[in-house]
């Protein structure tokens, strides 16, 4: 973490934004990449005179949504089997089936909520493309989720004190909280759908 912070601090403003674009872009293709850490530290550096909150947010959104829509396009063009062979890191064991079922039952709502779930959010764009969810609808849904999460990251970074470790602890805590809330929403939606099906079957 210290090395990343030192590297980001050495960059001039345009290159700092460029690094954030690349990190946000790459997390859609290489989920193990600690993109949230890079973006949080980049925002932390920017808050100390190397950039602006609007610049950080804009760079992050451009990279994140750009990468997501490229993966959406690949999923739409080639389908999941092709992607699973070439980018296996995108598909955690069992996650594909669960998210596919959510998409079938919850539609666009599932796209938004699943983008908040750590460990599976990179799976959302190619799966949305493969399942034929409209490009404009998918773009709006993923943009809403990304704007909410990275907006929160920027706010925390620009309000943080001088300690980057404290910032990362707060980001991790917020990520767990958001993930739990998103999971609770998914469970509630599944319960409602199940209840409606049972009622209709009667």
Query: Which tokens hold the place of 152?
Result: 């929160």
- The residue extents of the domains of the chain are 2-201
H helix runs in the chain, sequence order? 2-9, 13-26, 35-45, 53-78, 80-86, 95-106, 108-114, 124-130, 135-159, 164-201
pTM of the shown model:
0.78
Q: One digit per residue, pLDDT tens: the chain, 202 residues?
A: 667 778 888 899 999 999 999 999 998 888 777 788 888 888 888 888 778 989 999 999 999 999 999 999 999 999 888 888 887 777 777 777 877 877 777 777 778 887 877 667 888 899 899 888 889 999 998 999 899 888 988 888 887 755 676 666 766 666 566 555 555 555 554 554 455 666 666 5
């Amino acid at each position: 973490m210290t090395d990343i912070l030192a590297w980001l601090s050495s960059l001039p403003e345009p290159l700092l934004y460029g690094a954030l674009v690349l990190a946000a872009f790459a997390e859609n293709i290489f989920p193990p990449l600690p993109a949230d850490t890079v973006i949080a530290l980049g925002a932390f550096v920017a808050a100390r005179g190397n950039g602006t909150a609007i610049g950080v947010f804009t760079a992050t959104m451009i990279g994140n949504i750009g990468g997501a829509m490229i993966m959406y396009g690949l999923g739409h063009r080639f389908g999941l089997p092709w992607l699973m062979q070439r980018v296996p890191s995108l598909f955690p064991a069992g996650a594909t089936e669960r998210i596919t079922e959510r998409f079938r039952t919850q539609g666009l709502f599932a796209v938004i909520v699943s983008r908040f779930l750590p460990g599976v959010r990179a799976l959302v764009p190619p799966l949305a493309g493969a399942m034929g969810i409209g490009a404009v609808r998918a773009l709006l849904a993923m943009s809403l989720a990304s704007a909410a999460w990275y907006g929160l990251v920027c706010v925390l970074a620009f309000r943080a004190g001088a300690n980057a470790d404290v910032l990362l602890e707060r980001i991790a805590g917020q990520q767990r909280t958001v993930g739990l809330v998103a999971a609770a929403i998914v469970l509630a939606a599944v319960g409602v759908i199940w209840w409606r099906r049972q009622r209709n079957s009667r």
